[in-house]
Amino acid sequence: MDIRDDRSNFSDILAAALTAADEFLERLEERPAALRPPPTEAMNLPEDGLGGQQAIEVFRQRFEAGLSASSGPRYLGFVTGGSTPAALAGDWLAAAYDQNLSNDGDSIATTVERETIGLLRSLFGLDNSFEGVFVSGATQANVVALATARQWAADRLGVDVAADGLWRLPPIPVLGGTPHASILKAVSILGMGRGCVEHVPCLPDRQAVDPQALAERLAALDGAPAIVSASAGEVNTGDFDDLVELSELCRHHGAWLHVDGAFGLFAACDPEKAELLRGLNAADSIATDGHKWLNVPYDSGIVFTRHLEHQESVFKAVAAYLGAGPDLLHRTPENSRRFRALPAWMTLMAYGRSGYRELVSRCCRLARRLGDGIATSEHYELLAPVHLDIVCFALRKGDVERRDRVIYRLLDDGRVYLTPTVFDGRPGLRAAFVNWRTGEEDIPVILEALADAAV
Ligand SMILES: *Cc1c(COP(=O)(O)O)cnc(C)c1O
């Protein structure tokens, strides 16, 4: 089919997509939280296309049954948000509008991105000195932040890494108690090497760095530049580094403070949890996710830094046809950029500060409820206290194989999806609550599924 011939079918194609989405979302809560995909045979590229409507039909017939309810209420693996109604609408419109967000000056879309960054700063209680920009997720946000930190650290040693590379530099240490796997991925991408990440001891029975141990390590560097990577929401347990202590240490020793707050930054929305983020405004850079607790569709992340000059040194794209102004393409790895801000703008406008306060406090309450249920269960016990929205637990008795059997049984059962972890050498499971659909009614379902999977 000639592509232009499909133009007259546009409304019908969008209506078919709306029907598909409506039917999917209508039954989302009955769909298996996760499933093992059935084997399928790959189709060949058609010589003559099917047209948009038929393509939707074929997709639905072949694949729809194999989609999980990962945006539903009981997919508690990893840290997985869903899409609020307004965010989903915003994402559809982002595709329909299909704006180019590289450069200012040819559309209002970059203005919307800047406005959205302002809304997020306000949601998180961040100072206006933080510049922010949308990227694809917290991993990419960590890459941008650490690349900027690397540029700063090398600058202090008299080297412009963006121009000359790392070749003449000693290793720049990245210090943290519980750096997320994406921090290691980031330093690998950045040519600093995974070996530059030093795990500093944590406080007893905590997943938060021991400030005393960090102080000693920083003192031993004797003024050499270092990057401290703090966790605001450790991924296994939701524990938080003490940002007041860490920021004071960084100031004293002249180190860069990066905060990975992929989901934990949303503690700022709940007055009962906001305390966990005290000291945040002294950070040099912050990474967070849109597709977790903000509940916008994949993929969406945000990076904040207070060092635009170093950031732009790394990411500027120089070419005669690209502007040299303050365009957003000079702040991120991407040159071409999606209108990612729109779903975030929509959901923030639609539900406001109080909507997110309710969501965050509800998720934390649900995590506590599940934690209480685990603590009194016959088969399971908690591995760590519930600090925020994550429940980390294990079978009271049993090895890795038994734990894996529980995971597979849950997968086949479909009521709830959980992902494994290892905590203090013990094979465990985690449940992370960030989805706007999850409610009190889900807790007994989860506990029952867990009890059934244990026997
Ligand atoms: C999820 C997560 C990341 C990585 O985020 P992506 O969105 O998967 O790129 C980084 N840090 C923490 C603490 C996370 O929970």
Which of the listed residues 80, 180, 293 should we mutate to test ligand 1's pocket, taking the one with most ligand atoms within 8 A of CB?
180
Helix H or strand E segment including 380: strand 380-382
Same domain, 326 and 267: yes
Q: Which of 250, 245, 344 is nearest to 298 (CA)?
A: 344
**Distance from residue 80's CA to the centre of ligand 1 (Å):** 10
Is the residue at 328 inside a domain? yes
Ligand 1, residue 264: give the atom nearest the CA: 13
**Distance from residue 182's CA to the centre of ligand 1 (Å):** 7
**Distance from residue 146's CA to the centre of ligand 1 (Å):** 14
Closest Cα to atom 3, ligand 1: which residue? 138
From 327, 346, 365, the end of a domain falls on: 346
Q: What is the CATH number of the domain that holds 173?
A: 3.40.640.10
Backbone angles phi, psi at 184, to 5 degrees: -65, -40
Same domain, 256 and 377: no
- 365 contact partners, CB below 8 Å, separation of at least 6: none
CA dihedral (183, 185, 189, 194) positive or negative: positive
Same domain, 339 and 361: no
pLDDT in tens, the chain (455 residues): 899 999 999 999 999 999 999 999 999 999 999 999 989 999 999 999 999 999 999 999 999 999 999 999 999 999 999 999 999 999 999 999 999 999 999 999 999 999 999 999 999 999 999 999 999 999 999 999 999 999 999 999 999 999 999 999 999 999 999 999 999 999 999 999 999 999 999 999 999 999 999 999 999 999 999 999 999 999 999 999 999 999 999 999 999 999 999 999 999 999 999 999 999 999 999 999 999 999 999 999 999 999 999 999 999 998 888 776 789 999 999 999 999 999 999 999 999 999 999 999 999 999 999 999 999 999 999 999 999 999 999 999 989 999 999 999 999 999 999 999 999 999 999 999 999 999 999 999 999 999 999 98
- 9 contact partners, CB below 8 Å, separation of at least 6: 51, 52, 53
Same domain, 140 and 217: yes
**Distance from residue 138's CA to the centre of ligand 1 (Å):** 5
Same domain, 342 and 447: no
Helix H or strand E segment including 124: helix 109-124
Q: Which of 128, 229, 250 is nearest to 185 (CA)?
A: 229
In this structure, which amino acid lies at residue 263?
A: F
Q: Which of 158, 150, 160, 155 is nearest to 192 (CA)?
A: 150
From 286, 315, 346, the end of a domain falls on: 346
Does the predicted model carry a pTM greater than 0.75? yes
Same domain, 363 and 340: no
**Distance from residue 290's CA to the centre of ligand 1 (Å):** 10
Which of the listed residues 182, 295, 298 should we mutate to test ligand 1's pocket, taking the one with most ligand atoms within 8 A of CB?
182
Same domain, 320 and 359: no
Q: What is the CATH number of the domain that holds 425?
A: 3.90.1150.10
**Distance from residue 140's CA to the centre of ligand 1 (Å):** 9
Helix H or strand E segment including 256: strand 256-260
Quickly count: other Cβ atoms within 10 Å of residue 108's Cβ. 10
Instruction: For helices 341-375 and 85-97, give the axis angle rounded to 10 degrees.
Output: 150
Same domain, 258 and 402: no
d(CA 317, CA 267): 35
- 118 contact partners, CB below 8 Å, separation of at least 6: none
Same domain, 362 and 303: no
Is the residue at 102 inside a domain? yes
Within 6 Å (CB) of ligand 1, which residues are found? 79, 137-139, 180, 182, 233, 235, 260, 262-263, 289, 301
Is the residue at 2 inside a domain? no
Is the residue at 64 inside a domain? no
The boundaries of the domain holding residue 399 are 352-454
Quickly count: other Cβ atoms within 10 Å of residue 196's Cβ. 20
Is the residue at 390 inside a domain? yes
Number of domains in the chain: 2
Same domain, 316 and 362: no
Is the residue at 428 inside a domain? yes
d(CA 115, CA 108): 11
Same domain, 338 and 359: no
Write out the two tokens for 341.
């801000």
Alpha carbon separation from 446 to 31, 130, 377 (Å, rounded)? 15, 40, 12
Is the residue at 49 inside a domain? no
Same domain, 372 and 274: no
Is the residue at 33 inside a domain? no
